[in-house]
Amino acid sequence: MQIPMRRARLRKRTPQLTDLIRVNVLVAERSGLSRRGADTAIAGHRVTAAGRVVALGERLDALAPLELDGKALAAKPRPSVETGDELGGVEVFAWYKPVGVTTTHADPYATVTLPQALTPALGVERAARMLSIGRLDRESEGLLLLTEERRVVSPLAHPRAGLRRAYAAATKAMVAEAEFQRLRAGIRLTDGWAHAIEARGVHRDDDLPEDVRGGDMDPGQWSFISINEGRHHEVRRLYGAISHPVLRLIRVGYGPVRLGGLVSGELRLITESEREELTRALVAAPKSKARPVAPTSK
């Protein structure tokens, strides 16, 4: 018999698999070790959780107690709205991802992985700890947000935050207004409907990279599109659906953060104003709610 919701008592939510984090990530974040160093420590039975030796590949709650060589590894505090900074003081970088970089830490088919690309700017250890907020496919380039703190990755990447991804796309022929209207109205892709928040020709104030503004390609071949999520190859598939395959794709904005004067491979910390805008977006974003669970019969 179904129990009326008003009579049901809420239980403390049990973490789901998607809420849990690999133990090597937690060890790396709390100890300063690289992921590889954390794996070595775990394989050597040097990491325990409340006295129990943990195993490679195990997933734990973000606040689970951990010890390395018997010494407690303090969990980093979750961001709090009361601090006025929903990012919790976390450093966030803006990076111009070059073409050819695969946004992953390990891929046998990747020519250049994310840590390899970041090592010249950050060093081996710190580059290994960097996480991307969303992804860009290997052949795309432009703005990618980076952080060492896993706890802010999902909130900033989730569509709930309302952070638009803006792109400049080059095509062989000019995109007509009727085709822009199709992009804005919505197109059915293999994984569901998708549409552009904005789709139009490029403007002078679109903050395009210097090589685009002064390049050899006809400006009419470039167009601007923004979307509210980042499904796999979404922009490329949208343009393919209107028979305009993308020749070059550059992300020029992510929410309030702009590519600006960054050149390929360059890195910078986000500005205070960009940080404030990201914070406002996170505070305003609707929060996911745990489903109430009816009490079991005694």
Is residue 149 very low, low, confident or very high in pLDDT (cuts 50, 70, 90)?
A: confident
**137 in active site:** yes
Average pLDDT value for residue range 219-238: 91
Average pLDDT value for residue range 62-79: 80
Residue 265 pLDDT greater than 90, yes or no: yes
Output the six-digit token pair for 40: 């070595």
Q: Which of 39, 69, 107, 137 is catalytic?
A: 137
Residue 229, pLDDT score: 87
State the distance between the two ends of the chain, measured CA to CA, in whole angstroms.
15
Average pLDDT value for residue range 144-173: 92
Residue 215 pLDDT greater than 90, yes or no: no
Residue 288, pLDDT score: 57
For each of the domains in the chain, give its residue range(s) and CATH number, in order of start. Answer: 17-73 (3.10.290.10), 93-275 (3.30.2350.10)
Residues near 118 by Cβ (< 8 Å), separated by ≥ 6? Answer: 95, 126, 127, 130, 146, 267
Among 101-115, 126-140, 282-296, where is mean pLDDT lowest? 282-296
Average pLDDT value for residue range 121-136: 92
> What's the rounded Cα separation, in Å, for the pair 37 and 196?
43
Average pLDDT value for residue range 253-271: 94
Q: How many CA atoms does the CB half-sphere of 223 hold within 13 Å?
A: 27
Average pLDDT, the chain: 84
Is residue 216 very low, low, confident or very high in pLDDT (cuts 50, 70, 90)?
A: low
Residue 35, pLDDT score: 73
Residue 298, pLDDT score: 41
Q: How many CA atoms does the CB half-sphere of 153 hold within 13 Å?
A: 16
